[in-house]
């Protein structure tokens, strides 16, 4: 479109051509287009139709059958608007084609009288009814299409406010495509990749998404353009991963020591197949010279801790140190106790020790560790006598120095930003320590590949033997709720314990605390008057929280009434009932996390999801009743919620996925990731693919790139 050049047009060229250079775009139309985010020809060509009308499936008015839904294209003959007796607006319209006419009626849509006028061409989709001896559609879907011909008619997002119609946009798109045709549109994806993946070239894709010859051609165009969106995202992530590999020297760990096998031999149960597979993946990373950057996904109770401890021991047996960082003091202290129990009696071979072996030294470092005790831990980390340290973000403070940090485990990744991960990595002396990130929030595989794309992903998808499945039940309304409190009282009478989680109040923590206090009072004086109750919420000091949890752990409290502060990591094997009040206020992932607080011992456990009397279905609650598989639930969650935005909210829209969907395009996400690995060279990055590199620069802002690699 720019004069003089004969090279194919790139997206950069299109982004530099103002939309005002198209015919019939004067100052007024240019401002209207600007109001909906269309300033350049690239913006115009990436404003995709929101639907396509297949004129080959179009019915004539004469052939419309009563009671059936149909698509019909007709001309508006007359428009009439009036207010009914009960003050509702009713717009009546008559439309016709060569074969006959039909009336349309719109209730409470007064703007239809302004939108539609005699002589306009419209596409209608709706159910045909009989009224006063004639045929009628009530509130049909209407698309203004102008005098568009062709078999497939694209329908663009129309803006009532900016006064832009679908046929105006279609006209400008047509002109832009015609003017591009002479030079053609450049394609950044090598031809052999397109052939291998059965993708059409970009020029054909852009033409066919706007002017498809058939619905099949439109689908092929969508597939190619969705692939491009995903390839850009994956290329950023893979380039970041490659840069880490290129610029960072990792620790080459020694896998031949006996420490890990001693630990496994001492476990009271065998490792699951998933644990063995994951440990093999981690060992391969640890033995290489590149720093490991791995995400360990495991459902609640899948045995992530054993895997993490095994990896930490690989570092220790090679003469290095290991660190585990948890998001809260309560969780750090719990990990510390649990890991000490797991490693009781495990010794480290030490050539300088008279007896050949010494006890493994495990310490805790949080802001609550102070004075002489803190100085002792810091000195031990600096001189190498502390093997493993477990703590909060206190571990990344300046005062903390390690003799030789070999491996970092980060628990519940979504609570830490990339900066905190990087700060802990920087504690390595002359090598970058390996990083293992753990999460109990199952993420669909395609989303994990995108959101955590700079990490390799390992999945623990088997539960260890001895974990009793949790029975989840829905208590809908006051009558069902009775059974809940009966169950809690019976369990307490047998010496077991229960959690009651209070409703989530989005607006403020203050309201949430008030609701928890109110629930505590109601249950103490009512349904659970004979039980020992305690209250836990986010506004308590960390000392109060820990005291409350400790007394619950010791069995001095029967029922813990809490807000969602118990969502992550609280481990009390004697707690066998979880009651979630107003469960419909929580998301699937959060309910699944809460449910994972019970069923942690040998006793059968129940989870009650309580809702106020609801008619009809509740897909989230029903999904939890039907399945305890976190990965299956994560897929359901993605289906129900849609994907939201992948990129940073600051740059909303322009660079977000417009056609690609993590939900629908699972296969494309995997293909895009493997192509990104093929194209982004370990040493040269994207130097061999300058056009793709330029598109990343053009379409992903710095905020997007840092958001993607931070996630």
> How many structural domains does the chain have?
5
The CATH number covering residue 59 comes to 2.40.50.140
In a domain? residue 64: yes
Work out the widest C-alpha separation in the chain, in whole angstroms: 105
Closest CA to 523 of 480, 468, 474, 581: 581
Per-residue pLDDT tens for 680-704? 987 788 899 999 999 998 887 665 6
Closest CA to 709 of 233, 192, 14: 233
161 has pLDDT over 90: no
Residue 614, Cβ neighbours under 10 Å: how many?
A: 12
Domain stop point among 627, 654, 682? 627
Task: Report the pLDDT value the prediction gives residue 231, as an integer from 0 to 100.
Answer: 94
Residues 346 and 424 occupy one common structural domain:
yes
In a domain? residue 281: yes
Residues 357 and 429 occupy one common structural domain:
yes
Residues 428 and 576 occupy one common structural domain:
no
Task: Band the pLDDT of 30: cuts 50, 70, 90.
Answer: very high
Per-residue pLDDT tens for 667-679? 898 899 999 999 9
Residue 175, both tokens: 């002109």
567 has pLDDT over 70: no
> Residue 684 contacts by C-beta under 8 Å, 6 or more apart in sequence?
none
The residue that leads in pLDDT, 683 or 236, is 236
DSSP state of 598: S
Residues 233 and 282 occupy one common structural domain:
no
Q: Are strands 69-83 and 89-97 parallel, antiparallel or unpaired?
A: antiparallel
425 has pLDDT over 70: no
Residues 475 and 375 occupy one common structural domain:
no
In a domain? residue 648: no
Residues 69 and 108 occupy one common structural domain:
yes
What region, left, alpha or beta, does residue 663 occupy, with left being phi > 0 and alpha being psi -120 to 50 degrees? Answer: alpha
In a domain? residue 465: no
Task: Report the pLDDT value the prediction gives residue 418, as an integer from 0 to 100.
Answer: 59
Task: Report the pLDDT value the prediction gives residue 544, as an integer from 0 to 100.
Answer: 87
Task: Report the pLDDT value the prediction gives residue 656, as an integer from 0 to 100.
Answer: 59
| Segment 253-260 mean pLDDT | 87
Task: Band the pLDDT of 414: cuts 50, 70, 90.
Answer: low
Task: Band the pLDDT of 711: cuts 50, 70, 90.
Answer: very low
Task: Report the pLDDT value the prediction gives residue 653, as an integer from 0 to 100.
Answer: 32
Residues 556 and 531 occupy one common structural domain:
yes
Share of the chain above pLDDT 90, in %: 48
Residue 482, both tokens: 């009775």
Task: Report the pLDDT value the prediction gives residue 513, as an integer from 0 to 100.
Answer: 74
Residues 31 and 64 occupy one common structural domain:
no
Task: Report the pLDDT value the prediction gives residue 334, as an integer from 0 to 100.
Answer: 82
541 has pLDDT over 60: yes
Element of type H or E holding 120: none
| Segment 180-198 mean pLDDT | 95
Per-residue pLDDT tens for 133-146? 899 999 998 888 87
In a domain? residue 556: yes
The CATH number covering residue 521 comes to 3.40.50.300
In a domain? residue 651: no
Task: Report the pLDDT value the prediction gives residue 676, as an integer from 0 to 100.
Answer: 93
Domain stop point among 573, 605, 627? 627
300 has pLDDT over 80: no
Residue 157, both tokens: 């997002």
Task: Report the pLDDT value the prediction gives residue 651, as an integer from 0 to 100.
Answer: 36
- In whole angstroms, give the CA distance from residue 343 to residue 259: 11
| Segment 24-43 mean pLDDT | 93
Per-residue pLDDT tens for 111-138? 899 989 999 989 998 899 999 889 999 9
Task: Report the pLDDT value the prediction gives residue 648, as an integer from 0 to 100.
Answer: 46
Residues 519 and 573 occupy one common structural domain:
yes
Closest CA to 626 of 470, 394, 407, 398: 470
Q: What backbone phi and psi angles, to 5 degrees, belong to 337?
A: -65, -45
Task: Band the pLDDT of 103: cuts 50, 70, 90.
Answer: very high
Per-residue pLDDT tens for 499-512? 999 886 655 667 77
Weakest mean pLDDT among 92-106, 376-390, 449-463:
449-463
355 has pLDDT over 70: no
DSSP SS3 for 166: helix
453 has pLDDT over 70: no
The residue that leads in pLDDT, 690 or 632, is 690
Task: Report the pLDDT value the prediction gives residue 645, as an integer from 0 to 100.
Answer: 55
- Beta-bridge partner residues of 363: 389
CB crowding 287-316: b at 16 or more within 10 Å, else e: eeebbbbbbbbbbbbbbbbbbbbbbbbbbb
> 141-148: long-range contacts at Cβ-Cβ below 8 A with a sequence spacing of 24 or more?
142/104, 142/112, 142/115, 142/116, 143/51, 143/53, 144/115, 144/116, 144/120, 145/53, 145/73, 145/121, 146/120, 146/121, 146/170, 147/121, 148/121
Closest CA to 299 of 584, 711, 632: 632
Residues 615 and 697 occupy one common structural domain:
no
633 has pLDDT over 70: yes
Closest CA to 157 of 708, 185, 168: 168
Task: Report the pLDDT value the prediction gives residue 166, as an integer from 0 to 100.
Answer: 83
In a domain? residue 301: yes
Closest CA to 348 of 289, 427, 263, 462: 263
Q: Which residues constitute the domain of residue 497?
A: 470-627
Per-residue pLDDT tens for 645-668? 555 433 333 345 788 887 778 889
In a domain? residue 640: no
Residues 481 and 340 occupy one common structural domain:
no
Residues 452 and 510 occupy one common structural domain:
no
Structural contact between residues 446 and 637, judged by C-beta atoms closer than 8 angstroms: no
Q: Beta strands of 128-266 (E only): which ranges?
A: 129-131, 134-138, 141-144, 152-155
Share of the chain above pLDDT 70, in %: 89
Domain stop point among 426, 460, 494? 460
């Amino acid at each position: 479109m720019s004069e003089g050049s004969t090279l194919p047009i790139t997206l950069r060229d299109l982004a530099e051509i103002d939309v005002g250079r198209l015919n019939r775009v004067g100052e007024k139309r240019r401002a209207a287009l600007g109001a909906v985010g269309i300033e350049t020809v690239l913006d115009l060509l990436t404003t995709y139709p929101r639907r396509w009308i297949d004129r080959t499936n179009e019915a004539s008015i004469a052939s419309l059958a009563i009671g059936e839904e149909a698509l019909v294209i007709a001309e508006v003959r007359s428009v009439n608007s009036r207010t009914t007796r009960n003050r509702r607006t009713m717009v009546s319209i008559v439309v016709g084609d060569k074969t006959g006419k039909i009336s349309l009626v719109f209730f409470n849509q007064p703007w239809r009288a302004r939108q539609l006028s005699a002589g306009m061409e419209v596409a209608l989709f709706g159910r045909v009814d009989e009224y006063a001896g004639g045929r009628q559609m009530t509130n049909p879907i209407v698309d203004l299409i102008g005098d568009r011909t062709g078999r497939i008619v694209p329908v663009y997002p129309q803006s009532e406010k900016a006064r832009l119609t679908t046929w105006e946009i279609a006209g400008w798109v047509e002109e832009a495509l015609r003017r591009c045709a002479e030079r053609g549109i450049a394609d950044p994806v090598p031809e052999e990749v397109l052939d291998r993946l059965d993708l059409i070239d970009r020029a054909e894709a852009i033409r066919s998404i706007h002017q498809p010859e058939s619905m099949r051609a439109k689908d092929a165009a969508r597939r190619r353009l969705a692939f491009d969106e995903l390839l850009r995202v994956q290329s950023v992530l893979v380039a970041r991963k490659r840069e880490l590999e290129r610029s960072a020297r990792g620790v080459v760990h020694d896998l031949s020591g006996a420490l890990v096998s001693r630990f496994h031999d001492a476990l009271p149960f065998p490792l699951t197949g998933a644990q063995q597979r994951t440990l093999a993946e981690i060992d391969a990373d640890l033995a290489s010279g590149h720093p490991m950057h791995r995400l360990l996904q495991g459902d609640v109770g899948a045995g992530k801790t054993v895997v993490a401890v095994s990896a930490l021991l690989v570092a220790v047996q090679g003469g290095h140190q290991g660190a585990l960082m948890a998001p809260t003091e309560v969780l750090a202290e719990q990990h510390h106790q649990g890991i000490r129990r797991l490693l009781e009696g495990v010794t480290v071979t030490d050539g300088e020790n008279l007896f050949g072996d010494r006890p493994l030294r495990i310490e805790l470092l949080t802001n609550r560790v102070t004075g002489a005790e803190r100085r002792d831990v810091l000195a031990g980390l600096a001189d190498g006598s502390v093997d493993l340290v477990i703590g909060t973000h206190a571990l990344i403070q300046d005062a903390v120095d390690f003799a030789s940090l070999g491996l970092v485990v980060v628990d519940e990744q979504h609570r830490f930003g990339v900066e905190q991960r990087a700060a802990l990595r920087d504690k390595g002396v002359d090598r970058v320590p390996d990083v293992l990130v753990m999460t109990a929030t199952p993420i669909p595989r395609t989303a994990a590949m995108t959101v955590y794309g700079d990490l390799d992903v390992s999945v623990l998808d088997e539960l260890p033997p001895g974990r009793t499945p949790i029975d989840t039940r829905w208590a809908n309304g006051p009558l069902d709720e009775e059974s809940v409190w009966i169950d809690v009282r019976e369990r307490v009478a047998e010496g077991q314990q229960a959690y009651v989680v209070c409703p989530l109040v989005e607006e403020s923590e203050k309201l949430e605390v008030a609701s928890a206090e109110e629930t505590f009072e109601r249950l103490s004086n009512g349904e659970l008057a004979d039980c020992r109750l305690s209250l836990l919420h986010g506004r308590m000091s960390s000392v109060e929280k820990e005291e409350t949890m400790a007394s619950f752990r010791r069995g001095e409290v029967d029922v813990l009434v809490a807000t969602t502060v118990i969502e992550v990591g609280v481990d009390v094997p004697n707690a066998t009932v979880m009651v979630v009040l107003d469960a419909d206020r929580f998301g699937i992932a959060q309910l699944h996390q809460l449910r994972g607080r019970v069923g942690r011992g040998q006793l059968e456990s129940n989870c009650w999801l309580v809702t106020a009397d609801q008619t009809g279905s509740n897909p989230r609650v029903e999904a939890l009743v039907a399945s305890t598989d976190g990965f299956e639930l994560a897929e359901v969650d993605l289906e129900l919620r849609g994907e939201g935005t992948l990129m940073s909210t600051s740059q909303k829209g322009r660079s977000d996925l417009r056609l690609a969907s993590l939900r629908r395009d699972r296969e494309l996400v995997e293909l895009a990731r493997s192509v990104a690995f093929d194209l982004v060279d370990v040493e040269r990055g994207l130097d061999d693919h300058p056009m793709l590199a330029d598109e990343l620069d053009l379409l992903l802002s710095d905020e997007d790139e840092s958001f993607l690699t931070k996630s």
